[in-house]
Amino acid sequence: MYSGEFDGAAAFAGGGFMPSQATTVPDPSSSFSKNRNVRTLLPMTVKQLSELSSNDESSASIDGADVNTITVVGIVCDMQDKEPQFIFLIDDGTGRIECSRWAHEQMEFNEVNQISKGMYVRVYGHLKAFQDKRSLNAYSLRPIIDFNEITSHFVECIYVQLYNTRLRGGSSNQPQMTNSNHLKEYNAISSNHYSFDEGKSIDQMVLDFLRRPEFLANNNGVHRNVISQQLNLPMDKLMEALESLNENSLVYSIDEFHYKSAVNA
Amino acid sequence: MDTSNPAVFVNGGLMRMYVGRRIRTVIQVIQSDGGGVTGKSTDGHQLVVKGPQPGFPLTTFVEVIGIADTDRSIRAEIWNNFGNTFDTQSYNQLCQLANGEFKHLFI
């Protein structure tokens, strides 16, 4: 029975889950066990899932991040009861994917019984692949109640993709950070770097960079590799911006590789 | 997995890009009669939605999935009630992003 005296600190101290364990960097040499230890939860569209590259059935990655658990939001367009397995066909507007939910306990049956055809649901599950066919092993399916969640989910998909490809330093197929750093940076970056979206286009970023006093003073211009590195921009995006700025006479190129702002020239 | 029949996120202004194609959008219902449902898109355009209406009463905001007949009318396949409160501004921005730089995540 409840003794009435519950020392929370003592209950969770020593032995139990310690915060530092969450930030432990897994050994990068254990590449197979990496999938077991490093867990990611990625919001994705079915279109993205259909385009995942995978080296083998047990590991897949997108934009440099391991794909373990994913979440999708969509409409249930078909349901099959093959107790204890329930199969839902989810259509999120970008495609359809099959989600299997296994139910053994009452709570799981209750969860499944809440779902009906035509309903919007949020699914959490693991990606599984069988003979070229990808599906989800769902461990949670719940009806959407506030439909702003649909907007929020797709915006999150966009943000995470942007974060993994651009804000994190670019190169795909190279997981540069572990999941734990992911989480801390994700939260920090969302407040600091999100402002890139508001008002500052890539063109403007490049222009501002070239207008720094140290570059204005340098008659030799700045090498495009330096700009790319400093601004964390992939070269094709940088070149697009430089060409556009060049056309508008805001920058000019000294040779093929060095650029200078036309202001104060 | 089947990505052969997507429904593109659109607002009123984007519909002209997808005439004849399957789209999805959220409208605020203005009027509902035999001729169809007239609604306001998230970017303020007036749209008309035709097709068999659902058997349930519509809430203020409704998601319509169907074929864009013209740049201002839709032939609905699916109607989803989105309730009486909905953040149209965020949805509108999502439509713009989903048809711009991030189109590859959707279609």
Q: Domains of chain A, with CATH numbers? A: 42-168 (2.40.50.140), 202-261 (1.10.10.10)
Percent of chain A with pLDDT over 70: 69
For A248, residues 6+ apart whose C-beta sits below 8 A from its C-beta are: none
* pLDDT at residue A183 is higher than 70: no
Instruction: For domain B8-97, give the CATH superfamily.
Output: Nucleic acid-binding proteins (2.40.50.140)
Instruction: Confirm or reject contact between B106 and chain A (CB < 8 A).
Output: yes
Whether residue A159 contacts residue B107, with contact meaning beta carbons closer than 8 Å, is answered with no
For A230, residues 6+ apart whose C-beta sits below 8 A from its C-beta are: A209
Spell out the per-residue pLDDT of chain B, length 107, in tens.
888 899 999 999 999 999 999 999 999 999 998 889 999 999 999 999 999 888 899 999 999 999 999 999 999 999 999 999 999 999 999 999 999 999 999 99
Contact at CB, A158 and B102, closer than 8 angstroms: yes
* pLDDT at residue A27 is higher than 50: no
How close A57 gets to chain B, by Cα (Å)?
16
Provide the 10 A C-beta neighbour count for residue B33.
8
* pLDDT at residue A96 is higher than 50: yes
Classified as helix, coil or strand, A22 is helix
Query: Over chain A, what is the mean pLDDT?
Result: 77
Instruction: Confirm or reject contact between A129 and chain B (CB < 8 A).
Output: no
Classified as helix, coil or strand, B72 is coil
CB-nearest to B105 from A47, A151, A152 is A47
Chain A's closest residue to B101, CA to CA, is: A158
Contact at CB, A154 and B24, closer than 8 angstroms: no
pLDDT at position A22: 45
Q: How does DSSP classify residue B90?
A: H
Q: Considering only residues B90 and A172, tell me which one the structure prediction assigns the higher pLDDT.
A: B90
B86: chain A residues, CB-CB within 8 Å: 147-148
How close A147 gets to chain B, by Cα (Å)?
6
Instruction: Confirm or reject contact between B18 and chain A (CB < 8 A).
Output: no
pLDDT at position A208: 86
For residue A9, the one-letter residue type is A
Whether residue A151 contacts residue A114, with contact meaning beta carbons closer than 8 Å, is answered with no
ipTM of the complex: 0.96
Instruction: Confirm or reject contact between B31 and chain A (CB < 8 A).
Output: no
How close B33 gets to chain A, by Cα (Å)?
24
Q: Classify strands A96-102 and A120-130 as parallel, antiparallel or unpaired.
A: unpaired
Angle at B72 between CA B14 and CA B63, to 5 degrees: 75
pTM assigned to the model: 0.65
pLDDT at position B20: 96
Domain map (residue ranges) of chain B: 8-97
Contact at CB, B107 and A133, closer than 8 angstroms: no
Instruction: Confirm or reject contact between A75 and chain B (CB < 8 A).
Output: yes
* pLDDT at residue A164 is higher than 80: yes
